[in-house]
Chains A and B, each alone.
Chain A
Amino acid sequence: GEDVEQSLFLSVREGDSSVINCTYTDSSSTYLYWYKQEPGAGLQLLTYIFSNMDMKQDQRLTVLLNKKDKHLSLRIADTQTGDSAIYFCADLYSSASKIIFGSGTRLSIRP
């Protein structure tokens, strides 16, 4: 069935790198996404990766895709307090009719 899984919580020290992991079950994914949701706000598209790519870098963000293991990760370099949010991994399901979201990883930053 369709499933995207993430760990629920991650705590990192300010200035360190954060790595948020995600696994998915769809063997025919085309696009995988990372969204950020701050308290009381909607979802902000952070980045996406096409399934024929292994890596995508965008400023402090690095996305790694291991298609064989169906594993996606988001690395945030030099994590700042403004990065505190819930991060959702999402998969454009192969039928291309819906995007399946993980339950979100709550990232908290400690001084």
Chain B
Amino acid sequence: GAGVSQSPSNKVTEKGKDVELRCDPISGHTALYWYRQSLGQGLEFLIYFQGNSAPDKSGLPSDRFSAERTGGSVSTLTIQRTQQEDSAVYLCASSLHRSGNTIYFGEGSWLTVV
């Protein structure tokens, strides 16, 4: 597609449920990033993919968070047993390659845990 596409755009879930957030990067972009932005806060790095592998998972806040990428394209961020503090906007970005001079963000998935 023309831009980075994320779904769902909004998700309200009950505490304790699992959620999956999807990111469809710009076609041909090999690098993919997930960030989290809590209300009124800056961006917190979660994970980075180069192709299907994730050389840097250092930002995942707990073992309830996992992410995968298949076919060097779509990525899924999964949050298990959601907690209220997981409420945030989850932003995906992609770039043509690792050195990333053109990095573009999706509109984000707004997650609310009630």
Interface set of A (CB-CB < 8 Å, partner B)? 30-31, 33, 35, 41-45, 48, 50, 88, 90, 92, 95-104
Nearest chain-A residue to B97 (Cβ)? A96
Known: A88-B43, A99-B33. A48 touches B101 (CB 8 A): yes
Residues of B within 8 A of A35 (CB): 105
Tell me which of B45, B58, B106, B107 contacts A99 (CB under 8 A): B45
Is the pair A98, B103 in contact by a Cβ cutoff of 8 Å?
no
The reply to whether B101 and A41 contact each other, CB–CB distance below 8 Å, is no
Task: Check if B105 sits within 8 Å of A98, measured CB to CB.
Answer: no
Give the most central of A41, A95, A99: most B CB within 10 Å: A99
Interface size on B, residues (CB 8 A): 25
A96 touches B42 (CB 8 A): no
Residue contacts A-B, CB under 8 angstroms, 5 given: A31-B101, A42-B105, A48-B101, A97-B48, A98-B33
Residues of B near any A CB (own CB < 8 A): 33, 35, 41-43, 45, 48, 50, 55-56, 58-59, 91, 93, 98-108
Known contacts A88-B43, A99-B45, A101-B35; decide if A43 and B56 are in contact (CB<8 Å).
no
Cβ–Cβ contact B42 & A97, under 8 A: no
| Complex CA–CA separation, A103 to B42 (angstroms) | 4
Q: Report chain A residues within 8 Å CB of B43.
A: 43, 88, 90, 101
Given known contacts A41-B107, A42-B106, A95-B56, what 19 new A-B pairs fall within 8 Å (CB)? A31-B101, A42-B91, A43-B43, A45-B102, A45-B103, A45-B104, A45-B105, A88-B42, A88-B43, A92-B103, A96-B98, A97-B48, A97-B55, A98-B48, A98-B56, A99-B45, A100-B45, A101-B42, A101-B43
